[in-house]
Structure 1
Amino acid sequence: MSLTVETRATIGLPDAEPLRLIEETGTVVAPKLRRGIDLPGADTLLELYRRMVIARRWDTQVTALTRQGRLSTYPSARGQEAGEIGTVLAMEAADWLFPTYRDSIAVMTRGVPTEQILSGFRGDWHCGWDPQEHRTAPQATPLATQALHAVGLATAARLKGDPIAVATFIGDGATSEGDAHEAFNFAGVWRAPIVFVIQNNQFAISVPLSKQTHSRMLADRAVGYGIPGFHVDGNDVAAVYAVVSAALARARTGDGPTIIECLTYRVEPHTNSDDPSRYRDSSDVELWRKRDPIERLARYLESEGMLGDELRRSFVQEAEDAATAMRDTLNAEPALDPLELFDHVYNVERPALREQRDALAGELDENGSARS
């Protein structure tokens, strides 16, 4: 697939019908309706399926532990696996990911250990992993702030001649923020090698998309910034993977940014403290449950003889092992050092901060508090 855009004059509005490669029934879309996009190969599709199965079980386990009070909060991505996993598997190891608070399964798929991901939701660290090691920025809770950071890193890479691409997730509600406009605009002006993946799950907490914008779709905004925009079925992981792969390749070769809207649905509450029954109908939820991205791909793989009972059981067992390992991790009490509060505040430590550290250290020693 090629997403070539020579001039701003060639950029038009995306098609109203979201692009898909595999129908909800598991059948392949007719070639003339794929808009020149090829279905990923068998090995890629199996890996997408495997990763989504693991991510679903992991996410379900985290949600359960949160309801038990083991974590302070957790925003589930159930039903959005196609957008997250399709994007991450389209990335190269050197690329950078800028996630939001809802993108834990993407961060997990990127290779960040469970205990490091969940340390923030448990209140231990603001970010529990080394961003440089995993080429993954901290999960951003403020809406759209990470989009500007992503553009900054992408622009720096372009100026240095570093042939990488950057992907950042952004929710439908976050596109209403000024930071999103600035990120889109700067990316267009600077031709930053970045792909904005808008996960349109149709609700900004309790506010439906119809009350956020009068636009036909969120991807329509791309043309105003001189950026190509694409409207994708966010529950078709094959389509997400194919479009994001092409957009990332385009970014690496110097052709600039892309905005991709993935139409999907948030099946679970916004977080464990949310009551979605107050603002949406349960029948809508059930409708989208039937559009499950994992089962859609499974139907196709089974029909092509690529996914049998034995292989499917092996993926389920791998997912169970991941969930068990996560529970074991959270059963262990973290070794926390209160003095770490003063780390990474300034590049060069200031005298006032050193005094505060020394004062706290003295109190801890005086009270016999254990420190790692």
Structure 2
Amino acid sequence: MIQVARKVKNFGAFYQRALGFHHDSVRDEPAPYPGVKTEFTKEMRFILPEEVPTIPIYRVLNSQGKVINPDHDPGFEKEDLVEMYKVMVKTSIMDRILYQSQRQGRISFYMTNFGEEATQIGSARALKFKDVVFPQYREAGVFLWRGYTPLECMHQCFGTSKDFGKGKQMPVHYTGAKVNIQAVSSPLGTQIPQAAGYAYALKQRDRDACAVCYFGEGAASEGDCHSAMNMAATLDCPIMFFCRNNGYAISTATKDQYRGDGIASRGIGYGIPAIRFDGNDLFAVYNATKAARKLCVEEQRPVVLEAMTYRVGHHSTSDDSTAYRSVDEVKHWDTVDTPINRIRNYLTGRAWWDETQEKEFRSNARGEILRGFKEAENTKLPNPLLIFDEVWDELPVQLQAQKDELIKHCMKYGENYPLQNHEEMK
């Protein structure tokens, strides 16, 4: 992976060789203009994107869970790999329960991670805890791998008094200082320049850590992504731009999102090392992320990672994906080539896992999650007055007046509100 990343540093020369520029160059007259490292040529020729080779997809496991090249098997110990598999399965079980609960009207909103479990767990396993994660909204597995519990996810989705965000965010917008992950925010792409800025700060004080920013290929169309990549490239910020290219940005397919060679090629355009890999292959995700982190930290420079995967579920509970893609397409990715099935085949092939263990674990995991669900659902909601807290260091006069007004209003008309479901107003 390091070799792949180093090769793309000379992509300019690659383009020239691919299109025949090199042989037509005027060798005794180098181009004097700032901002380019190339030569003059006497030939006038446009670089046509369809003539330039595309960036290949690195993989280790095939669709049946067989290792293609033994030299690239990460060599996980049995206990380690089984634990990774368990977190992938637990993420999927939690998704199913919370998705169904939204359909029952018990929570207001949810976004599943179906089909992207390997992308999350493989990358999280390759990071160090000191690496600061800037998530989008489909990284539940990263939270769970770093120590977030299903119960804590439930408290956040119900917005209870035990939610770390104190009920101020909509469901799946997890946050947790204890797992060194920044808060999820809804506006698309806002975390990308924030992560680049944080990486620049890390460069000044801790050269053994990096920022890791997750986003989808749809967010890569936002201006935030372009400005962040350019900033990181020119300032040599230690950040991994981790793009989950799952085929659809809500209802917009990739063919309507961009015309270039995916997202990895954009890294090349900004002068950033890049790699594209199979996001449904746990081993490929781990290897690529580990190598990218090494390059990022040791050379203090950004890296672009593009994980090719597929979003099996609807974009969210507010979306009906049958309106823009076929049922057969989804069925293929949900049955034939799922990341969970692929790694389970590998485990069973090595006699590290069997059907009895599978049934027992799934039953226990489902029981744990359902108990957490019940506990969270029956936990009181936060004190309504907390809406005014932790926004300003000192509450402005206008907000203090609004807070006083809310207290008076609830004292007078409290019987018209379900205040009994909240912690006492103090």
TM-score, normalised to structure 1's length? 0.90
Mean CA deviation greater in 282-291 or 113-122: 113-122
Deviations 1:264-321 (A, max 9, x none): 1111111122121111111111221211101111111111222234443443244223
Residues 257 and 9 (structure 1 numbering): CA distance in 2 closer, same or farther, change over 3 Å?
A: closer
Contact 2:192 2:228 in 1 (8 A): yes
Tell me which residue corresponds to 2:74: 39
Tell me which residue corresponds to 1:20: 59
Deviations 1:80-107 (A, max 9, x none): 1111111222222222111112223322
Contact 1:55 1:319 in 2 (8 A): no
Contact 1:55 1:109 in 2 (8 A): no
Give distance in 2, aligned partners of 1:7 and 1:79.
Answer: 31
Tell me which residue corresponds to 1:267: 312
Describe the SS at the equivalent of 1:170. Answer: strand
Q: Pick the aligned partner of 1:84 from 100, 120, 141.
A: 120
Give distance in 2, aligned partners of 1:216 and 1:187.
Answer: 21
Q: What are the equivalent positions in structure 2 for 1:210-359 lying under 5 Å apart?
A: 210-289=255-334, 290-359=336-405
State yes or no: 1:67 paired with 2:103: yes
Describe the SS at the equivalent of 1:92. Answer: coil
Mean CA deviation greater in 80-89 or 5-14: 5-14
Q: What are the equivalent positions in structure 2 for 1:118-129 lying under 5 Å apart?
A: 118=154, 121-122=157-158, 124-126=167-169
Give distance in 1, aligned partners of 2:391 and 2:152.
Answer: 20
Tell me which residue corresponds to 2:164: none
Tell me which residue corresponds to 2:208: 163
Residues 323 and 222 (structure 1 numbering): CA distance in 2 closer, same or farther, change over 3 Å?
A: same
Query: Which blocks of at least 5 consecutive residues in structure 1 are unaligned?
Result: none
> Over aligned residue pairs, what C-alpha RMSD do you find?
2.5
Give distance in 2, aligned partners of 1:348 and 1:47.
Answer: 45
- 1:134 CA displacement: 2.1
Which protein has greater RCO, CA pairs closer than 8 Å, 6+ apart?
A: 1
Contact 2:5 2:275 in 1 (8 A): no
Give distance in 2, aligned partners of 1:328 and 1:229.
Answer: 44
Mean CA deviation greater in 227-236 or 152-161: 152-161
Contact 2:111 2:317 in 1 (8 A): yes
Tell me which residue corresponds to 1:100: 136
Mean CA deviation greater in 90-99 or 3-12: 3-12
- 1:217 CA displacement: 2.1
Residues 52 and 214 (structure 1 numbering): CA distance in 2 closer, same or farther, change over 3 Å?
A: same
State yes or no: 1:57 paired with 2:57: no
Task: Give the letter aligned to residue 172 of structure 1.
Answer: E
Contact 2:127 2:293 in 1 (8 A): yes
Contact 2:4 2:275 in 1 (8 A): no
Give distance in 1, aligned partners of 2:4 and 2:398.
Answer: 54
Mean CA deviation greater in 54-63 or 106-115: 106-115
Task: Give the letter aligned to residue 195 of structure 1.
Answer: M
Query: Which blocks of at least 5 consecutive residues in structure 2 are unaligned?
Result: 15-52, 160-166
Mean CA deviation greater in 176-185 or 298-307: 298-307
Mean CA deviation greater in 36-45 or 321-330: 36-45
Deviations 1:85-131 (A, max 9, x none): 11222222222111112223322332234454355544632287664
Deviations 1:17-70 (A, max 9, x none): 311111011211135xxxx74434233432221211111111111111111111
Describe the SS at the equivalent of 1:230. Answer: strand
Give distance in 2, aligned partners of 1:152 and 1:239.
Answer: 28
Contact 1:154 1:194 in 2 (8 A): yes
Q: Pick the aligned partner of 2:148 from 112, 135, 140.
A: 112
Residues 195 and 288 (structure 1 numbering): CA distance in 2 closer, same or farther, change over 3 Å?
A: same
Give distance in 1, aligned partners of 2:136 and 2:91.
Answer: 16
Describe the SS at the equivalent of 2:241. Answer: strand
Task: Give the letter aligned to residue 58 of structure 2.
Answer: L
Higher radius of gyration, 1 or 2: 2
Give distance in 1, aligned partners of 2:135 and 2:225.
Answer: 14
- 1:160 CA displacement: 1.6
TM-score, normalised to structure 2's length? 0.79
Tell me which residue corresponds to 2:410: 364
Residues 73 and 106 (structure 1 numbering): CA distance in 2 closer, same or farther, change over 3 Å?
A: same
Give distance in 2, aligned partners of 1:50 and 1:144.
Answer: 30
Mean CA deviation greater in 1-10 or 280-289: 1-10
Contact 2:154 2:372 in 1 (8 A): no
Contact 1:54 1:315 in 2 (8 A): no
Deviations 1:225-266 (A, max 9, x none): 111111111100111011112212332324311111111111
Contact 2:73 2:283 in 1 (8 A): no
Task: Give the letter aligned to residue 226 of structure 1.
Answer: G
Task: Give the letter aligned to residue 326 of structure 2.
Answer: D
Contact 2:151 2:369 in 1 (8 A): no
Alignment: residue pair count: 368
Task: Give the letter aligned to residue 358 of structure 1.
Answer: D
